[in-house]
Amino acid sequence: MPTSQKPIELILMRQLASSLVTPVFLVDVAGTLIFYNEPAEELLGLRFDETGEMPAGEWATRWEPTAGDGTPLPPEALPLMMAIAQRRPAHGTFWIRRHDGGRRRIQVTAIPFVATPDRLLGAAAVFCEDDG
């Protein structure tokens, strides 16, 4: 969906995220990735220009999220997808595989964007590497 067709709140959130040093990942109401910022690029190992927008089923598996024991996490177990489905904040810690093959343990907190009780706009996740 072109930027001009996205809700203004998501456009503004993208603008805010682009100026933050905290990694931010932004999805629309369908869970489609619409943006991640430079700090997220560093952690994920891919620039947003290289991936572009992608449906939830693709981004939720691209970085091969796994539990600590290596068990793959299904998309619906990821905080961003839970925030959209449940319309409430969600948090999780799990492993991802970067484009270069390196694994990183990350903590993710996702918040849904709800404009009115019946108008879900999307969600954002802030995350960081978990050294623990």
CATH code, domain with 59 = 3.30.450.20
Q: How many domains does the chain have?
A: 1
What band does 3 get if pLDDT is binned at 50, 70 and 90? low
Which residue bears the tokens 């994920």?
44
Helix (H) or strand (E) holding 73: none
Residue 118 structure tokens: 């019946």
pLDDT tier for residue 75 given thresholds of 50, 70 and 90: very high
Handedness of CA 67, 43, 33, 93 (dihedral sign): positive
Q: What predicted TM-score, i.e. pTM, was given to this entire model?
A: 0.90
Determine the average pLDDT of the residues in 86-115.
96
Note the pLDDT of residue 111.
Answer: 98
What is the pLDDT confidence band of residue 117, given thresholds at 50, 70 and 90?
Answer: confident
Contacts of 84 (CB under 8 A, 6+ apart): 27, 29, 31, 112, 120, 122, 123
Residue ranges making up the domain that contains 21: 3-129
d(CA 94, CA 68): 6
CA 3 to mean position of chain CA atoms: 18
